[in-house]
Structure 1
Amino acid sequence: MSDIRDTFYAMGSDVDKWATRYGFAKSIPFDGRRTKVGDPKARYAGFYLLEFSNNEWYLGESINVRNRLGQHKLTYGDEVASVRLLLQNLSKPALRKREKGFIHELDGMVRGQLRNKAGAGISAGSNELVDFLDEAEQELWLEDPKKFNASDDASLKALLEGQEVKYRTAATKFRALPNSRALTNVLRSFLESCVPAPRRTEFQSWNVSCGTFDWRRAFCVSVGKMEVLAVGPDGRGFIVVRKSLVLPDQQAQRAFRKRHPGVQVDTKTLYEDSGPDVARLRATTIGDLESLLDDPAVQRAAARLVLDVMRKHPSVYSRYHCTQLVEDVYSGYQRPEAEAPLDTAEAKKLVTELADEARTLEGENGDDEVEAPQNIAMQPDDIPLFWFVNAGPKESTRNTIADFRQADEWRMDPDERYETKVMDMLPGERIAVRKRYNTKTNIPFDHRDHRVSCMDILLTGTIVENPGDGVSVKVEWDPPTAPRTWYLFTSQDTVWPLSPVHPWSRHLIDFTFHDARQDLDYWRNVSYWRARFGDN
Structure 2
Amino acid sequence: MSTTPRRSTTGLRQFLNFEQQRNWIEGKTNLRDADERSESMELRFKYVARFQKLLRRPQAQEVLKILRLYGENCIPIPRKSERHYWSVSCLPSTSDKPLVRVNASWMELFTLYADGEGVRARFLVHLSDFTTDHSPARGQLDELFLEHCVTTPDDVGCFFPRGEDIFGINVRGSASIHKFLAARQVLRAIRRFNLTHMNRGRNAYQASHCYSLADYLLEG
TM-score bin, normalised by smaller chain: 0.7 to 0.9
Letter of the 1:148 counterpart = N
Contact 2:130–2:141 (CA under 8 A) maintained in structure 1? no
Given candidates 165, 168, 173, the residue that maps to 2:53 is 173
Contact 2:171–2:177 (CA under 8 A) maintained in structure 1? yes
Q: Describe the superposition over 1:35-70 as per-residue Cα deviations: whole angstroms up to 9, x where unpaired.
A: xxxxxxxxxxxxxxxxxxxxxxxxxxxxxxxxxxxx
Percent identity over the alignment? 24
RMSD over aligned Cα atoms = 2.6
Partner of 1:325: 213
Runs of 5+ unmatched residues, structure 2: 134-139
SS in 2 for 1:129: helix
- Is 1:266 the equivalent of 2:159? yes
Q: CA 1:293–1:259 in structure 2 vs 1: closer, same or farther (change >3 Å)?
A: closer
Distance, in Å, in 1 between the alignment partners of 2:64 and 2:131 is: 28
Distance, in Å, in 1 between the alignment partners of 2:21 and 2:192 is: 11
Partner of 2:183: 295
Structure exhibiting the larger radius of gyration computed from Cα positions: 1
Q: CA 1:290–1:169 in structure 2 vs 1: closer, same or farther (change >3 Å)?
A: same
Distance, in Å, in 2 between the alignment partners of 1:255 and 1:328 is: 31
Given candidates 200, 208, 217, the residue that maps to 1:312 is 200
Partner of 1:226: 107
Structure with larger RCO (C-alpha < 8 A, sep 6+): 2
Given candidates 165, 184, 200, the residue that maps to 2:64 is 184
Letter of the 1:160 counterpart = S
- Is 1:155 the equivalent of 2:35? yes
Given candidates 16, 22, 30, the residue that maps to 1:139 is 22
Partner of 1:204: 84
Runs of 5+ unmatched residues, structure 1: 1-76, 80-123, 333-536
SS in 2 for 1:235: strand
- Is 1:213 the equivalent of 2:93? yes
Partner of 1:257: 147
Distance, in Å, in 2 between the alignment partners of 1:216 and 1:289 is: 19
Contact 1:243–1:301 (CA under 8 A) maintained in structure 2? no
Task: Quote the offset at 1:246 in angstroms.
Answer: 2.4
Distance, in Å, in 2 between the alignment partners of 1:168 and 1:132 is: 31
Q: Describe the superposition over 1:503-528 as per-residue Cα deviations: whole angstroms up to 9, x where unpaired.
A: xxxxxxxxxxxxxxxxxxxxxxxxxx
Q: Describe the superposition over 1:459-484 as per-residue Cα deviations: whole angstroms up to 9, x where unpaired.
A: xxxxxxxxxxxxxxxxxxxxxxxxxx
Q: Describe the superposition over 1:147-173 as per-residue Cα deviations: whole angstroms up to 9, x where unpaired.
A: 515xx3533413122011110111111
Q: CA 1:185–1:247 in structure 2 vs 1: closer, same or farther (change >3 Å)?
A: farther
Letter of the 1:263 counterpart = V
- Is 1:194 the equivalent of 2:74? yes
Contact 1:223–1:306 (CA under 8 A) maintained in structure 2? yes
Distance, in Å, in 2 between the alignment partners of 1:288 and 1:180 is: 17
Q: Given the two structures, how large is their TM-score scaled by the length of structure 2?
A: 0.81
Q: Describe the superposition over 1:268-288 as per-residue Cα deviations: whole angstroms up to 9, x where unpaired.
A: x12xxxx51111101232332
Partner of 1:235: 119
Contact 1:242–1:301 (CA under 8 A) maintained in structure 2? yes
| Alignment coverage as a number of residue pairs | 204
Instruction: Map 1:275-290 to 2 at 5 A.
Output: 275-290=163-178
Q: CA 1:243–1:126 in structure 2 vs 1: closer, same or farther (change >3 Å)?
A: farther
Distance, in Å, in 1 between the alignment partners of 2:207 and 2:159 is: 29
Partner of 2:136: none
Q: Which moved more, 1:174-183 or 1:125-134?
A: 125-134
Q: CA 1:276–1:161 in structure 2 vs 1: closer, same or farther (change >3 Å)?
A: same
Contact 1:191–1:198 (CA under 8 A) maintained in structure 2? yes
Instruction: Map 1:36-47 to 2 at 5 A.
Output: none
Contact 2:37–2:82 (CA under 8 A) maintained in structure 1? yes
Contact 2:70–2:217 (CA under 8 A) maintained in structure 1? no
Distance, in Å, in 1 between the alignment partners of 2:126 and 2:8 is: 20
Q: Describe the superposition over 1:278-303 as per-residue Cα deviations: whole angstroms up to 9, x where unpaired.
A: 11101232332222212211111111
